[in-house]
Structure 1
């Protein structure tokens, strides 16, 4: 144990596209969350926060010893930076812990016009070496979010040469290009990926054509039927749950989960898993073991196959969304617990997806509390017995076989 006394517990940093997701992430173990404001961000379709919502989110976070960061990582064109100084001052005064920026103009504006608001360099800036991190440290930044293309060997080398805080992605979607360097969406759909409008053109399915030099376009031959499936340029998702010790031992200060557009089912599950893994390692590094239940849990919310990205090798065709898929157990998020009566063992539930009497369902909560049961009976909010819950957000009651808590989630396995 002596060799591990200097290990620092990393922050588990979760995405929060809405105020509900912010509270969910923190309730399920996140030490910090990152959100978008109503300007200068890269998720124009996420539920970006007003100043009032930020204030409520910050108050909730502080009450639970957590932090809130704001992503303002767009690339600015002429005129886009107008009003940025006031925006940064407002979020500073609300109590935001740091702003995540990639554009040097916005960084300069924040440092000079909103002193006291820490600045973190976004992954959009593609920082891949310690000289770059040292440069930004000298500019006054406190933390750098590494490019997702950095290897674990490079992480170790970077940490040896700089003491600036390092944040690294550990879970979620990967960009097929260097983050912040892709213009596919601009070309395909005239939506600027670097200014909040990415249409994820890399995930579209493409045909292949045989177009010999000099041949008119209408004479080209499609390869449809000659390949197993349409081609995409999309990467599988990242998951580093099996490599927490490497990240901690190499000095990563913040473990970042991607997914501001994802559901509360995803946010709660992934935050819960990484919190459990980090806690387990820090409690006893010498005897730490990856638990199969953590991996199984992540697959319950997986949308694509999983890999370790660039951390241990350059991705191959096995890390692309092409060819035969591994079978992934799919679960549907069906509800959340609103109240529980210990005397009657009745839970009040808000429905999020259809389920019926007779279904096998799973309850889960913070700290890896899990159990399964069959739905034996349900009543609507008027006390009438019902055999199914078809209406979104309807309130119902049901008996449960174990105690549950407000905020616990419910899911069921999808039909084959």
Structure 2
């Protein structure tokens, strides 16, 4: 497979890589739907195309950025990008030619200067166009992300894709899928280059921090159907009486209230406060290993 960092933007690029033995090309992120469809029509049917449809977008062309490596010694190509493009920079302009020591600060807003920070990509509302463009695989940018992030995003897109495959003519976008994608750590969303070349509205200027609406609380390890109790390993504090949701493949978070918490020895507890603490509690429906427990209200 050819990485997006190869910068494949044309049918000639794809044909070249296929001649060297490639079976799939991850296209550059700087392509529109029209570009992707044109490439698909002019390449061999045996060559698969893959595109990014969700997640962080690099300020550099196709992710070929050396800022992190040069500034803090963390190589982006090894999955260690420190994302310096999100930092608040101080930019100065020489005020007078004859007095170079006189500097004038250039500010975007009173919050600072974020000259390199992009919004995140999100194409959940454009599943039909994606699936009709001849794309073999959809890619989610998950570098440096958690298992919870991967589970929520993949689940939302999986539900949308399955819905379209089941009934293309009757397909309707479900806003619940979009709300799921807003429940995990993200920045403001945009559609990248798919619909049109991004303008200033695709840049973050007011804030560059992550938005997170719901907290990742625990992961399920088992369920006893006779007692209706599920076993979990804690990721964030769980307190009896708090509203929670259970996320599992093929469905969004199912709400209920955390009740009857017990520690690993079966002793009743008010909360599960310690990281990786094993605990159990009553759940009003079946739970499967790997299901995710999360907060039912916005995380503080």
Q: Same fold (TM over 0.5)?
A: yes
The aligned runs of 1:270-309 (5 Å cut-off) are: 270-309=153-192
Question: For each residue in 1:295-350, what CA deviation from the matched residue of structure 2 results, as whole angstroms up to 9, or x when unmatched?
Answer: 11111114211111111111122211212699956110000111111111111111
- Show the counterpart of 1:409: 292
Q: Residue in 1 aligned with 2:259?
A: 376
Give the Å deviation of 1:216: 3.3
Aligned counterparts, 1:378-397, within 5 A: 378-397=261-280
> Aligned equivalents of 2:56 and 2:187: distance in 1?
9
Q: Could you state the TM-score of these two structures normalised by the residue count of structure 2?
A: 0.91
Query: 1:12-411 residue pairs with structure 2 within 5 A?
Result: 120-163=1-44, 164-194=47-77, 197-212=80-95, 213-217=97-101, 219-223=102-106, 227-232=109-114, 233-323=116-206, 330-368=213-251, 370-411=253-294
> Unmatched 5+ residue regions in structure 2?
none
CA distance in 2, matches of 1:298, 1:257: 12
Aligned partner of residue 211 in structure 1, secondary structure: strand
Unpaired runs of at least 5, structure 1: 1-119
Greater mean deviation of Cα atoms: 394-403 or 145-154: 394-403
Alignment partners' CA distance in 2, 1:166 and 1:291: 27
Q: 1:265 to 1:407 in 2, by over 3 A?
A: same
Normalised by the length of structure 1, the TM-score is 0.67
Shift, 1:222, TM fit: 3.1
The 1:327/1:195 distance shift into structure 2, 3 A limit, reads: closer
* Number of matched pairs: 295
Equivalent pair of 1:305/1:326 in contact (CA under 8 Å): no
Q: What are the superposed Cα offsets for residues 200-233 of structure 1, whole Å, 9 maximum, x if unpaired?
A: 221111123232335334x323356x83211221
Task: Name the CA shift for 1:377/1:214 in 2 (closer, same or farther; >3 Å).
Answer: farther
Question: Structure 1 residues 365 and 194, CA, compared in 2 at 3 Å: closer, same or farther?
Answer: closer
Which whole-Å CA distance do the structure 2 matches of 1:182 and 1:140 have between them?
27
Report the Cα distance in structure 1 between the residues aligned to 2:24 and 2:63, rounded to whole angstroms: 18
Distance in 2, matches of 1:394 and 1:264, equals 18
Q: Deviations over 1:161-204 (max 9, x none)?
A: 01221000011110111024323234433444446553322111
User: Could you tell me whether the CA contact under 8 Å between 2:186 and 2:210 is conserved in 1?
Assistant: no
Q: Residues of 2 paired with 1:356 and 1:150: CA distance? A: 47
Distance 1:408 1:151, change over 3 A: same
CA shift, 1:242, in A, is 0.9
